[in-house]
């Protein structure tokens, strides 16, 4: 079996804490014409963020990270995976 290592890359991320609505919406502001319209929908009642991705709608719960990858796509990431994969610059 051949092994591979993930190439180093720089991403941007914000952690959803259930109260940082403005920060998350600002993070998701991709300009005047985002690819799919609104990238994020925040549901205050259940404190979830719905993220429109190329694979469909994904949900971030409180504590999850929202990542903008090297191609500009947003997606949620669980805290344990984020900690194992990324480090602060």
Distance of alpha carbon 38 from alpha carbon 35, whole angstroms: 8
Locate the domains of the chain by residue range. 12-85
pTM of the model: 0.78
Which is more confident, 46 or 14? 14
pLDDT at 83 over 80: yes
- Residue 24, class by beta-carbon neighbours within 10 Å (0-12 exposed, 13-18 middle, 19+ buried)? buried
Q: How many other β-carbons are positioned within 10 Å of the β-carbon of residue 27? A: 19
- Which residues are registered as beta bridge partners of 60? 49
pLDDT value of position 76: 94
Q: How confident is the model at residue 38 (pLDDT cuts 50, 70, 90)?
A: low
């Amino acid at each position: 079996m051949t092994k591979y290592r993930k190439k180093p890359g720089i991403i941007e991320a914000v952690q959803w804490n259930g109260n940082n609505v403005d920060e998350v919406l600002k993070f998701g502001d991709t300009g005047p014409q985002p690819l799919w319209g609104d990238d994020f929908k925040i549901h205050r009642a259940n404190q979830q963020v719905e993220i429109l991705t190329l694979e469909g709608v994904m949900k971030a719960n409180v504590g999850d990270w929202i990542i903008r990858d090297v191609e500009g796509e947003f997606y949620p990431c669980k805290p344990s995976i984020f900690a194992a994969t990324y480090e602060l610059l």
